[in-house]
Amino acid sequence: MPFGVRGIAWFRKQDFGAIENLVRDELLLRLEHYRKQLAILEVRVVALPETFPQVETLREIHGIGPYTARTGPGRIGLLTPLGRTIAV
């Protein structure tokens, strides 16, 4: 099923029968919920360079895009070499 605005509008108009329409409506509610959650996540990901200045350094590496650079430090977390804690 296409998840664009037109695809959702098309899916909403489909008549699958009494029981299946309930399932369709539940799927539409879930897609709307996930769309809202994704918007919240996007705002947080955009703000990550302010939290992790290492993002700009990661962007200088060939093949590291903006999304990977922003989420990489969150995935890796903090490293502790020789007893010192540093942010990666």
Q: What is the pLDDT of residues 54-77, one digit of tens each?
A: 777 777 777 877 777 777 665 665
| Phi, psi at 64, each rounded to 5° | -95, 115
The residues, any chain, with a CB within 8 Å of residue 48's CB and separated by 6 or more, are 55, 70, 71, 73, 74
Q: The pTM is what?
A: 0.57
pLDDT band at residue 78 under the 50/70/90 scheme: low
- pLDDT bucket at 46, cuts 50 / 70 / 90: confident
Q: Where are the beta strands (DSSP E) in the chain?
A: 78-79, 86-87
Query: Which pLDDT value is given to residue 55?
Result: 74
Q: Tens digit of pLDDT for each residue in 32-45?
A: 999 999 889 888 87
